[in-house]
């Protein structure tokens, strides 16, 4: 799949094991799409507990904002460039919008969400957090974005975003929650509108988790278009040069630079395993020291 085909979807879910660079890749994909003239919203999910004095303010921590060079994000989209915006997806913002859509008077919804007790209940109750985030995502998709890039949390939360509406749609046969769950499933399961990108590191554990996550997404009928293998060490050797090195180096522990060879081998093995087991395009992103988001965005936007 080409990058242009990937960015042609309406919703792009970026997921993977914690610490593999999902946020960096999310920011880079959003910048690459914006550079192509698309109106893009980059969104991150925040499960942080509500503060008593914070109704719709900035979240306490905001990795996506840091990757984009912004202060912490709030619930409303913030302009980054002419065609790139960023926001957080918080459960409380979704709960508020849900109440506004279902209660006969908007003031009742606003008053309810001003109650600290109500907000704590929505935050703590099982499944309601994921439902609130999904509802907020659906609300944002009603706006004229060409693409929404969603930086998902670690693996468990990524799968819960689809598992929760599936369970609710099965248990609740009618009503506004059933309708919201059905709408969410319709969006998440439509490969013409939504796809996912798995991010992994070139090491056995994150590769294994990427394989497991792919299987989980497949069971939930969520399309997956590509794997990004992040922080791949450079391999400057031709096969002939590598064979010559193996003949020459007797003691790797005492040979300057020889310790890089196992990392290069692990990266090659990771690429081969992902391509073989997932049968998806694998796009390698090299190790970078500075201007990481901008350089990855340029690389993603410049090739197939």
CA distances from 226 to 4, 5, 243 (A): 12, 11, 32
Q: Is the pLDDT of residue 134 over 80?
A: yes
Percent of the chain surpassing pLDDT 90: 46
- Taking alpha carbons only, the member of 96, 175, 94 closest to residue 139 is 94
| pLDDT of res. 256 | 60
Q: Is the pLDDT of residue 50 over 60?
A: no
Residue, of 36 and 180, whose pLDDT is higher? 36
How far is it, in rounded angstroms, from Cα 11 to Cα 137?
A: 10
How far is it, in rounded angstroms, from Cα 290 to Cα 304?
A: 24
29 pLDDT band (50/70/90 cuts)?
very high
| pLDDT of res. 104 | 62
- Does residue 205 lie within any of the structural domains? yes
Q: Is the Cβ–Cβ distance between 225 and 2 less than 8 Å?
A: no
| pLDDT of res. 53 | 41
Tens digit of pLDDT for each residue in 137-155?
A: 999 999 999 999 999 987 6
Segment 63-87 mean pLDDT: 93
- Does residue 258 lie within any of the structural domains? no
Number of domains in the chain: 1
- Does residue 134 lie within any of the structural domains? yes
**CATH assignment at residue 64:** 3.40.50.300
Residue 51: phi and psi, rounded to 5, are -90, 150
101 pLDDT band (50/70/90 cuts)?
confident
Least confident among 85-89, 114-118, 289-293: 114-118
Q: Is the Cβ–Cβ distance between 231 and 163 less than 8 Å?
A: no
- Does residue 253 lie within any of the structural domains? no
Whole domain around residue 75: which residue ranges? Answer: 3-235+263-299
79 pLDDT band (50/70/90 cuts)?
very high
| The most confident of 44-58, 175-189, 248-262, by mean pLDDT | 175-189
Q: From the CA atom positions of the chain, what is the Rg in Å?
A: 21
Segment 158-185 mean pLDDT: 77
- Does residue 92 lie within any of the structural domains? yes
Tens digit of pLDDT for each residue in 245-293?
A: 878 876 666 666 667 888 899 999 999 999 999 999 999 999 876 677 8
What's the mean per-residue pLDDT of the chain?
A: 83
Indicate the DSSP class of residue 57. Answer: -
Residue, of 183 and 114, whose pLDDT is higher? 183
Residue, of 90 and 42, whose pLDDT is higher? 42
Segment 97-117 mean pLDDT: 63
Q: Is the pLDDT of residue 15 over 90?
A: yes
Give the DSSP letter string of 59-119.
-S--HHHHHHT-SPP-SS-EESSSSEEEEEE-HHHHHHHHHHHHSSSHHHHHHHHH-HHHH
| pLDDT of res. 84 | 97
- Does residue 257 lie within any of the structural domains? no
- Does residue 110 lie within any of the structural domains? yes
Tokens 């994909």 belong to residue: 29
Q: Is the pLDDT of residue 52 over 60?
A: no
Q: Is the pLDDT of residue 129 over 60?
A: yes
Tens digit of pLDDT for each residue in 197-243?
A: 999 999 999 999 999 999 999 999 999 999 999 999 988 888 888 88
Q: Is the pLDDT of residue 173 over 80?
A: no
How far is it, in rounded angstroms, from Cα 286 to Cα 236?
A: 12
């Amino acid at each position: 799949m080409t990058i242009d085909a990937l960015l042609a979807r309406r919703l792009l879910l970026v997921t993977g094991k914690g610490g593999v660079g999902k946020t960096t890749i999310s920011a880079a994909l959003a910048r690459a799409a914006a550079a192509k003239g698309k109106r893009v919203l980059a969104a991150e999910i925040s499960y942080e507990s509500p503060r008593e004095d914070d109704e719709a303010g900035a979240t306490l921590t905001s990795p996506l904002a840091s990757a984009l060079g912004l202060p912490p994000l709030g619930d409303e989209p913030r302009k980054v460039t002419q065609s790139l915006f960023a926001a957080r997806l918080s459960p409380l913002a979704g709960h508020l919008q849900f109440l506004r859509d279902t209660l006969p008077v908007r003031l009742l919804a606003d008053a309810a969400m001003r109650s600290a007790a109500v907000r704590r209940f929505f935050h703590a109750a099982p499944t309601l957090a994921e439902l609130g985030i999904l509802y907020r995502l659906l609300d944002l998709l009603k706006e004229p974005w060409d693409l929404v890039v969603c930086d998902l949390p670690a693996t468990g939360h990524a799968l819960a975003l689809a598992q929760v509406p599936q369970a609710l749609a099965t248990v609740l046969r009618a009503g506004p929650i059933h309708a919201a769950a059905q709408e969410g499933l319709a969006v998440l399961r439509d490969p013409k509108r939504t796809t996912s990108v798995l991010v992994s590191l070139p090491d056995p554990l994150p590769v294994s988790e990427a394989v497991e996550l792919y299987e989980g997404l497949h069971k939930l009928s969520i399309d997956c278009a590509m794997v990004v293998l992040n922080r791949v060490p450079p391999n400057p050797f031709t096969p002939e040069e590598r064979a010559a090195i193996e003949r020459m180096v007797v003691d790797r522990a005492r040979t300057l630079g020889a310790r890089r060879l196992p990392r290069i081998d692990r990266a090659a093995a990771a690429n081969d395993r992902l391509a073989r087991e997932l049968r998806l395009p694998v796009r390698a992103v090299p190790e970078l020291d500075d201007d990481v988001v901008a350089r990855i965005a340029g690389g993603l936007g410049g090739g197939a």
